[in-house]
Amino acid sequence: MNESAKMLREISIIDFTLVDLMLYLDTHPHDRNAMEYFNHYSRIKKQLSTEFSQRFYPLTKDYSDCDKEWKWGNAPLPWEGVCS
């Protein structure tokens, strides 16, 4: 597994935690422990996404910051199977 695939895997694991916590919090909006978990992993997700986007390609258009080449449009597509 190359560096970008490793990082993408890490981001996916953290984001999965966030997606699952989000759905839980949607029906348990007063669970403070769950909110603490959410905030903690949300910070990690932002750090990792910024780092990934700077090193490889923007993960979303909001992370795009190019001047020579439009990397967002040329980034590998998820269905290519780049994570192996």
CA–CA distance from 60 to each of 36, 37, 65, 72 (Å)?
A: 25, 24, 11, 8
d(CA 29, CA 26): 6
- Nearest residue (CB) to another protein, 33 versus 84: 84
**Residue 12 or 54 with smaller CB distance to another protein:** 12
By CB under 8 A, the residues from 26 to 45 that bind another protein are 26-29
- Residue 11 Cβ, how far from another protein at the closest point, in Å? 7
Would you state the structure tokens that stand for residue 78, as one six-digit string?
């998820």
CB of 45 to another protein, least distance (A): 10
Residue count at the site for another protein (CB under 8 A)? 30
Cβ(79)–Cβ(73) below 8 Å? no
70 binds another protein (CB under 8 A): no
Q: Which of 49, 51, 45, 18 is nearest to 34 (CA)?
A: 18
Choice between 26 and 67, CB closer to another protein: 26
